[in-house]
Amino acid sequence: MKTEKSGFNSKLIHGGDFHDSLGSAVTPIYQTSTFSFKNADHGARCFSGEDDGYIYTRLGNPTIEDLEKTVAELENGFGGIATSSGMAAVNTVYLGFLGAGEHIISHNAVYGPSRVVMETLYPKFNVESSFVDATDINNVINAIRPNTKLIYLETPANPTIGISDIKAISKIAHEKGIPVCVDNTFCSPYLQKPLDLGADIVLHSMTKFINGHADIVAGMIVTKTEEQYKMLRSVMMNVGCNMDPHQAFLTRRGLKTLAIRIDRAQENAIKVADYLEQHPKVEWVKYPGLKSHPQYELAKMQMSGPGAMISFEVKGGLKAGKTVMDNVQMALLAVSLGGIETLIQHPASMTHSKIPQEKKLEAGITGGLVRLSIGIEDVDDIINDLKQALDKV
Ligand SMILES: *Cc1c(COP(=O)(O)O)cnc(C)c1O
């Protein structure tokens, strides 16, 4: 008899409910591009949708579907759409919701390419955008226009760790008939469930916490309704930004330990944030678990834990920021986040370097800003590593 899998960890392990006639304990990799039909009628029924048989991997594949079902369950959504990367998920949502003469409102400190693509590529199709500080809901309200077709949030945002109120913004958006999408990469469904808070769409770079082992690039979209699922799935299938079965297999494997990885990384991050906050060479620390965080109360309400992402400002600007980067020994100097290893990066010269200087400052991306993705190593080693690097400033 199957047991009920109502708890989060049970869903991580058993979600997707894949079974085959051989009794495989894990979902196998169906590394095939196409699936043969039993006969012409069966082929016709698969195409018409009367039969849910597989047709072609860009349209659907059992390994990928298992992952889609699992993440959709974790986010309490209708269905999941796996994509080749997080940016493929972002662009699928942009393409699905926005057309010529329409407008998107987004946070001014979202993931670099999520903003860059909107400001450089989409104007070719006459899509307008407003990037505002969405941590203040009034900025979002003031940016709404009659042609606004999507509010796109990322919370906590990258790299400033600013937090936007998903519930309050969704309420206002829905009064005007505008859907809300949340990039939930920094939290994963373990720490935040945007659909439960009122958002319509949630997306992930599964490259980060969901896979968690820094060995693949992958994305996922989860919708609340069947209608939006069908619309976005069709965009993904026709654009061709589908996931590969092997990528799905690795992601599904990484996902099983999501909660225990985040618990450990978060426990470490709380100690690292406390350490940095009292360090004389640190101007400020942004971490949702610190009382000094401007949206500390909101974070407590909409997230079930403060997570493993910390940003801090080293006294001495760009030069000091670079000194820390050049002197850490254990932390890897690398972009990306959410893996088991501690990573350190410098947004001003790396992830957000393509954003013009005045827009960077407006979004709070200063020269001395250093971003940490805390891993699951021994916390004393992480702190000692930062200590000796800060000593060199
Ligand atoms: C990494 C990241 C993305 C893009 O994902 P890729 O998998 O690199 O394409 C989008 N949003 C956030 C918040 C990210 O951290």
**pLDDT single digits (tens) 56-83:** 999 999 999 999 999 999 999 999 999 9
- Could you read off the pLDDT of 250-306 as tens digits, one per residue? 999 999 999 999 999 999 999 999 999 999 999 999 999 999 999 999 999 999 999
215 is catalytic: no
Strand partners, 81: 221
Q: What is the pLDDT of residues 76-129, one digit of tens each?
A: 999 999 999 999 999 999 999 999 999 999 999 899 999 999 999 999 999 999
The pLDDT score that the predictor gives to residue 81 is: 98
Atom of ligand 1 nearest to the CA of 110: 13
> Residues enclosing ligand 1, CB less than 6 A?
85-87, 90, 111, 114, 154, 158, 183, 185-186, 205, 207-208, 217, 219, 337
Strands 180-183 and 148-154: parallel
pLDDT at 354: 80
Sheet holding 148-154, edge to edge: 79-83, 219-223, 201-205, 180-183, 148-154, 103-107, 128-132
> How far away, in angstroms, is 86 Cα from ligand 1 center?
5
The mean pLDDT value of the chain amounts to 95
CA dihedral 145, 150, 156, 159 (to 10 degrees): -80
- Is 1's pLDDT higher than 80? no
Q: How confident is the model at residue 3 (pLDDT cuts 50, 70, 90)?
A: low
What residue ranges define each of the domains in the chain, with the CATH number in brackets?
8-30+61-255 (3.40.640.10), 258-390 (3.90.1150.10)
- Residue 151, pLDDT > 70, answer yes
Determine the atom of ligand 1 nearest the C-alpha atom of 207.
Answer: 7
pLDDT, average across residues 30-53: 96
- Is 275 marked active-site? no
Rounded to 5 degrees, φ, ψ at 307 are: 80, -165
Please give the distance, rounded to the nearest whole angstrom, from the Cα atom of residue 111 to the centre of ligand 1: 7
pLDDT digits (tens, 9 = 90+) for 181-237: 999 999 999 999 999 999 999 999 999 999 999 999 999 999 999 999 999 999 999
111 catalytic? Reply is yes
How big is the CA angle at 111 (ends 105 and 117), to the nearest 5 degrees?
A: 65
Q: What is the mean pLDDT of residues 359-364?
A: 80
Mean pLDDT of 118-143: 97
Quick check: is 183 catalytic? yes
